[in-house]
């Protein structure tokens, strides 16, 4: 995980407005709003790298409730688009959603179904997908 965090930090695009990392309390508040528990790796991901901007993908944030990719809003939109309620959508890409299974595996949901593409953890997704976007 530390190696992937370092890779993301190195690839981070500096922007004028900046983004903030959330507090633990912010992650709990978002979790209460979506009514789903966050896998441990995902909570760590939010606390460690949710202020990073890399490539064209924009994973959800919990530190700014006015952001277009605020986690509770992203989840509500994804679930209304048909993503199964047990999945935790954390990143929208065109008409598809990267989602977390309850155990922490990342799956891709597109065209009304799971695609079969998976990543063991959100950290592997960050390395293999986010950094390459």
CA dihedral 96, 98, 101, 102 (to 10 degrees): -120
Q: What is the pLDDT of residue 16?
A: 55
Q: What is the pLDDT of residue 47?
A: 98
pTM for the model stands at: 0.95
Ordered per-residue pLDDT tens for the chain, 133 residues: 899 999 999 998 876 566 899 999 999 999 999 999 999 999 999 999 999 999 999 999 999 999 999 999 999 999 999 999 999 999 999 999 999 999 999 999 999 999 999 999 999 999 999 999 9
Distance CA 115, CA 109 (A): 6
Q: What is the pLDDT of residue 71?
A: 98
Q: What is the pLDDT of residue 63?
A: 96
Q: What is the pLDDT of residue 17?
A: 65
Q: With contact defined as beta carbons under 8 Å apart, do 6 and 54 qualify?
A: no
Distance CA 54, CA 17 (A): 15
Domain 2-130: assigned CATH number:
3.40.1580.10
Q: What is the pLDDT of residue 14?
A: 74
Q: What is the pLDDT of residue 120?
A: 98
Q: What is the pLDDT of residue 31?
A: 97
């Amino acid at each position: 995980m530390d190696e992937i965090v370092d890779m993301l930090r190195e690839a981070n695009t500096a922007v004028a407005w900046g983004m903030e990392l959330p507090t633990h309390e912010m992650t709990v508040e978002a979790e209460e709003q979506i009514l789903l528990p966050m896998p441990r790796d995902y909570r760590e991901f939010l606390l460690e790298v949710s202020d990073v901007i890399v490539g064209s993908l924009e994973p959800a944030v919990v530190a700014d409730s006015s952001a277009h990719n605020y986690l509770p809003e992203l989840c509500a939109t994804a679930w209304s688009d048909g993503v199964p309620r047990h999945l935790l959508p954390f990143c929208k890409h065109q008409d598809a959603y990267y989602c977390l299974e309850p155990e922490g595996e990342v799956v891709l949901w597109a065209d009304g179904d799971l695609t079969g593409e998976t990543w063991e953890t959100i950290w592997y997704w960050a390395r293999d997908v986010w950094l390459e976007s």
